[in-house]
Amino acid sequence: MEKQRLGAIIIGLIMLFSVAGFASVGLRFTGDAVQDQPQEQTIPTTVDRFLTGQEISLILRQGRAVIESVYNKNCQECKQKDGELRFFATRFGGFVILESVETEYGEGWERFQIIGSNGEIKDLKEEEISQENLLNLSCDLLVVKPRECLLKIYEQPLNTS
């Protein structure tokens, strides 16, 4: 009887340790898998450098738009445009990212544009850079829209003819 009891205890301990061993292997494997996954990259609302192609791709895949403001540091009109774009990007940070870069390039190298999440590009060089106009342009280009875009639908008068 003693031998049977001792055998049962040994078998019970073997089973208990094997369960614990499998559990620790599973936890270790899961931990490695989580560490191997790429971390989601967060990009600030305003970036004072050129964005990489990978960053632009990430922003567009998230349904957001990229506003590019590239201008010569001696261009006062360009600095004013950039200021309006910065204010707009701050207001709609969850929907747009501003790439703002002062360059040494000569006149004619300025680039003011919005790249929509659908891949469409809207040139802002000849556009009026106002908050209302930027909102209208962004509403057309964004896949994920701020509530201000959605509310504009209700501001339009109904055709009752």
Query: For residue range 44-71, what is the model confidence (pLDDT) as tens digits?
Result: 999 999 999 999 999 999 999 999 999 9
Q: Are residues 15 and 72 in the same domain?
A: no
Residue 98 within a domain:
yes
Q: What is the CATH number of the domain that holds 110?
A: 3.40.30.10
Residues 31 and 75 in one domain: no
Number of domains in the chain: 2
Residue 160 clears pLDDT 60, i.e. is over it:
no
Q: What are phi and psi of 100, to 5 degrees?
A: -115, 120
Whether residue 11 is found in the same domain as residue 62: no
Predicted local distance difference test score (pLDDT) of residue 61: 92
| 85 shares its domain with 31 | no
pLDDT of residue 25: 66
* pLDDT tens for each residue of 63-114: 999 999 999 988 899 999 999 999 999 999 889 999 999 988 767 778 999 9
- At 34, is the pLDDT very low, low, confident or very high (cuts 50, 70, 90)? very low
Residue 160 lies in a domain: no
Regarding whether 147 and 68 lie in a shared domain, the answer is yes
Position 160: which residue type?
Answer: T
- Per-residue pLDDT at 38: 47
Task: Inform me whether the pLDDT recorded for 115 exceeds 50.
Answer: yes
Q: What is the mean pLDDT of the chain?
A: 83
| pLDDT value at residue 44 | 92
pTM above 0.85, yes or no: no
- 67 and 140 both lie in a single domain: yes
Residue 161 lies in a domain: no
Domain boundaries, position 67 = 46-155
Position 18 scores a pLDDT of 77
3-state SS, residue 113? strand
For residues 74 and 77, give the distance between their C-alpha atoms in angstroms, rounded to a whole number.
9
Co-location of 25 and 87 in the same domain: no
Which of the four pLDDT bands, split at 50, 70 and 90, describes residue 32?
very low
- Residue holding tokens 């989601």? 40
Residue showing tokens 């061993």: 21
Q: Is the domain of 11 the same as that of 54?
A: no
Is residue 23 in some structural domain?
A: yes
* Whether residue 138 sits in one domain with residue 121: yes
